[in-house]
Amino acid sequence: TASLRGEAIKTTCAYCGVGCGVLATVDADRHFSISGDLEHPANFGRLCVKGSALGETVGLEGRLLYPAIGGVRADWDHTTTYIASQLKDIIAEHGPEAVAFYVSGQFLTEDYYVVNKLAKGFIGTPNVDTNSRLCMSSAVAGHKRAFGTDTVPNSYEDFEHADLLTFVGSNAAWCHPILYQRIKKAKANNPEMKIVSIDPRKTDTNEIVDLHLPIKSGMDVLLFNYLLVEVSKSPALNTTYIDQFTDGLADALLAAQRDVALGDVAERLGVDGVTLAQFVEWFIATPKAMTLFSMGVNQSGQGTDKVNAIINVHLATGRIGSEGAGPFSLTGQPNAMGGREVGGLANMLAAHLDIHEPSHRALVQDFWQSPTMIEKQGLKAVDLFDAVATGKVKAVWIMATNPIVSMPNADRVRDALANCPLVIVSDVIADTDCTRVADVVLPALGWGEKDGTVTNSERCISRQRGILAGAGESRADWWALAQVAQKMGFEGFDYQSARDVFVEHAALSGVDNQEGGVLRDFDISALSALTQGEYDALNPIQWPIKLVDQKLVGTQRLFEQGGFFTTNRRAKIVPVQNVATGNVTSNEFPYALNTGRIRDQWHTMTRTGLTSRLTRHIGEPFAELNPKDAEKLHVSSGDILQINSQWGQALARVIISDGQQPGMVFVPIHWNGINSTQSRIGAVVNPVVDPYSGQPECKHTPVMLKKA
């Protein structure tokens, strides 16, 4: 890697799911110069402020530099031997399910593949979950219910072809800044393009919005059910597409009609009838319509139903997988999608195969030559940490994530980990909320050091390239996992490089993947013969990938002509009805807490908190209130607000904004317990989850507010 110094290397950003290409140059003192990669199809040279500041977050200060057991420095050989023997003892006494892994959408695909292989095929525990559970697992569940697979049907380019673009539960201006800028430019080039935002909050995204529907929190299903009913009475209903490629419209329509019949829709949504009618009129009249949804949809006790309510209107109009038309999940993390490809969630198997299908399990077991194959899905994030709290899980290996800050009911997670017999933490940072409760710490490679692949929100696989040698004794996460696997006596983990892992993953995606076989959407087997040189030179490409005339060909769009991955190859229009949020406000807890991201920080700030450029935008936790509520609470801008729920407490500085609805308070997710013991908003968030996806309802927790 030292030989790469001084050269401009193409890599990808470490942060959000846009997956921007980065051109990085480093000198002998680890000083980076960063610019956008003009040729990368996600960003064509643009970077947001977080991506531009990547080089300022890779210093050695605060890095975890060597492994340690019980706080005492140890070498890798000794530490991985210790972990292997501890895990074997726990498995011998309590069974394999007493072991769990909690990993991350920050992982590279290669790391994700190895942890899943080790857990699901060798240790025999299904308990591997990831912080992606908090991010987009409702989108996964919604895609699977509708399409039979977890497939994003369109590409970013479609945003530029759309005539109507609707954001649902997304502040893209802050959370997906480069896509937002692409859309802003597209609107400037096409003044006829209409943009709608469906969001209880007025945010910076509103700058380009023609119509804002500030619906009440949790009412998305009713809105899209109403749209389905109106579409069904209009020429936009595409009976040809419905008859040829879908099932279930009659039942879904019946459910929607029942929902709509419960009372005045505009009033129940909390919007005026004229605005609602305008949105419906635009949607019906515009064939090139894209609906972009994000955490406001996914992070809900009814997240999966919300996703399906959105997909339903696209299936009923046949506006899916075609130029400028389709539903689109804006993924939060850089490699949440790659994680899904290798089965990174507790309810998935590798290569988009299903745990509950015996033939799928047999295929994977045969390919891995594994001694044990799990037979059921594992514990999803909230249940996983509950199982740590109750002692069912006795060993947990946390990698590249900080659940003591990010999980709902985070104080319970902190206490559970403090009492867990074996907590292993792999991280780049030495002092985090999680390393403080770890029995064993392992130094991981950081951005600029690690080498592998990521997949962004539009199914585009890109290389993230190692430019620098790892700090101290840090090593790749896939390598640490493979060392432990080998020391536990397992074969099949003798990987020498990230490329070795990647080609195995690619080969698995193609096994028996054909009509009459175990057919699935995710196929990158054309990459399974990549040499090291070809892997190093791999250009961004969207799966599924084919080899045509010795050339790799990706796929921009799917499903315009059906071809779904259900048993009968038809999509399912899923009946859904609006249900109330998991916890409702009361006299004791009269406000609804909504949590989310800010523009210049990432997750729990362990990296973005390192540069003053990024803390300049917003430097401390805040609570955004409507002026009427501020008056009622006798607080002014700059006061400290105490936020209490029945789960915990946090403090934040008051900001007053009429973009916030009365009765709601918005607090960002980023500040951790190292910043201050009172700034982890996760401690306040309720642990309600969606019944299908297990995704927590981070957008609606009843709270009590008072001046601190």
136 binds ligand SF4 (CB under 6 A): no
> 3-class DSSP state for residue 543?
coil
Residue with tokens 């219910």: 145
Least distance between ligand SF4 and beta carbon 49 (Å)? 7
Smallest distance, ligand SF4 to C-beta of residue 293, A = 17
3-state helix, strand, coil in the chain (%, to 5): 35, 20, 45
**Least Å from the CB of residue 378 to ligand SF4:** 30
Nearer to ligand SF4, 241 or 602 (CB): 602
| For ligand SF4, the closer CB: 18 or 164 | 18
CA distance 458 to 506: 18
Of positions 41, 51, 169, 492, contacts ligand SF4 by CB under 6 A? 51
Give yes or no for residue 177 binding ligand SF4 (CB under 6 A).
yes
| CA dihedral over 650, 652, 658, 659, signed as positive or negative | negative
**Residue closer to ligand SF4 (CB basis): 18 or 84:** 18
Rg (CA), the chain: 24
Nearest distance from residue 380's CB to ligand SF4, in Å?
26
In the range 293-352, which residues lie near ligand SF4 by CB under 6 A? none
According to the binding rule CB under 6 A, does residue 540 interact with ligand SF4?
A: no
Give CA angle at 513 (509, 516), nearest 5°. 160
CB of 464 to ligand SF4, least distance (A): 11
- Segment interacting with ligand SF4, rule: CB under 6 A, options 2-10, 42-50, 470-478, 617-625: 42-50
Minimum distance from residue 15 beta carbon to ligand SF4 (Å): 3
* DSSP symbols for 479-532: HHHHHHHHHTT-SS----SHHHHHHHHHHHHHTT-STTS---S---GGGTT--H
Comparison of 39 and 658: residue with beta carbon closer to ligand SF4: 39
Least distance between ligand SF4 and beta carbon 90 (Å): 38
* Position 13 contacts ligand SF4 (CB under 6 A): yes
Q: Is 622 helix (H, G, I), strand (E, B) or coil?
A: strand
Q: Starting at the edge strand that comes first in sequence, how are the strands of the sheet with 164-168 ordered?
A: 211-213, 194-198, 164-168, 289-293, 326-329
User: 50 vs 475, which CB is nearer to ligand SF4?
Assistant: 50
DSSP class of residue 177 equals H
Query: How many chain residues interact with ligand SF4 (CB under 6 A)?
Result: 13
Q: In what order do the strands lie in the sheet with 21-26?
A: 9-12, 21-26, 32-36
**Residue 15 touching ligand SF4 (CB under 6 A):** yes
Do the beta carbons of residue 256 and residue 226 sit within 8 Å? yes
β-sheet with 460-464: strand ranges across: 452-455, 460-464, 541-542
Cβ proximity to ligand SF4: between 18 and 236 the closer is: 18
**Choice from 9, 16, 140, 558 touching ligand SF4 (CB under 6 A):** 16
Q: Can residue 19 be called a binding residue for ligand SF4 (CB under 6 A)?
A: yes
At 65, give phi and psi (nearest 5°): -110, -20
d(CA 405, CA 670): 8
Nearer to ligand SF4, 51 or 200 (CB): 51
Helix (H, G, I), strand (E, B) or coil at 693: coil
Q: Is residue 50 at the binding interface for ligand SF4, with CB under 6 A as the rule?
A: yes
Site string for ligand SF4, 210-249 (x = CB under 6 A): ----------------------------------------
Q: Is 47 in the site for ligand SF4 (CB under 6 A)?
A: yes
Among 9, 18, 255, 444, binds ligand SF4 (CB under 6 A): 18
Question: Looking at 2-10, 41-49, 205-213, 273-281, which segment touches ligand SF4 (CB under 6 A)?
Answer: 41-49
Do you know the residue count of the chain? Answer: 708
- Strand pairing category for 9-12 and 21-26: antiparallel
Q: Which is nearer to ligand SF4, 46 or 572 (CB)?
A: 46
If binding is defined by CB under 6 A, does position 407 make contact with ligand SF4? no
Structure tokens at 639: 């006061």
Residues engaged in binding ligand SF4 (CB under 6 A): 13, 15-16, 18-20, 43, 47-48, 50-51, 177-178
